[in-house]
Amino acid sequence: MIGELEFDVALDELYGWAELRLGSAERPIEITCSYVADSLGDIVRGFARLASDGGKFEVDCDSESCGSFLITFRRVGDRIEIVAKKAVADYEVETARHKRARFRYEGNWQSSVRTIVQAYQRLLDQYGVAGYTDQWGHEFPCEEWEQLSNITSEV
């Protein structure tokens, strides 16, 4: 779907749980993530790589009892595509039901990365780096965050 990306991330009150919200002109989806995989940090690290190299990266969002999502972020020039699919064991997308995207977005790279950075900035404003680490169970990727912050301040 072409339009403005809606993205939000929130840490749950319970240790090691987070909610990702992806949306655009179509209905949004919410993905529950657990600390089993560092999906929140993987998004920051992946966007930092996309900013310098382009290409794609994938994030495994494992919610343990609720199933898993595989989110693919692909940058081509000044465009970005984001696809979220329900995954089965070992993050394989095996059946026709699982092959169908639960969320698909295509839009402008610069405005999308700005939206991602704003969502993480709200998270840091709420928890700080130490609070994020304490609540999520993984270190915040500060070096990659600085790269992303610099990119969005230049735009």
Q: Assess contact for 117 and 152: CB atoms under 8 A.
A: yes
Q: Assess contact for 64 and 34: CB atoms under 8 A.
A: yes
- DSSP code of residue 126: H
- For residue 67, being part of any structural domain is answered with yes
- For residue 104, being part of any structural domain is answered with yes
Task: Write the CATH number for 43.
Answer: 3.30.2450
The per-type count for the chain, helices as H runs and strands as E runs, is: 4, 7
Residue 37 phi, psi dihedral angles, 5° rounding: -120, 145
Q: What is the pLDDT of residue 91?
A: 47
Q: Name, in order, each residue with C-beta under 8 angstroms of 132's C-beta and a sequence gap of 6 or more.
A: 11, 123, 124, 140
- For residue 106, being part of any structural domain is answered with yes
- Choose from 25-39, 57-71, 80-94, 118-132 the range with maximum mean pLDDT: 118-132
The pTM for the full model equals 0.87
Range of the domain at 27: 6-145
Q: What tens digit of pLDDT does each residue of 54-112 get?
A: 899 999 887 665 678 899 999 999 999 999 988 765 545 454 445 678 889 999 999 99
Provide the domain count of the chain.
1
Q: Assess contact for 19 and 10: CB atoms under 8 A.
A: yes
Q: What is the pLDDT of residue 28?
A: 85
d(CA 75, CA 79): 6
Q: Name, in order, each residue with C-beta under 8 angstroms of 155's C-beta and a sequence gap of 6 or more.
A: 110, 114
- For residue 39, being part of any structural domain is answered with yes
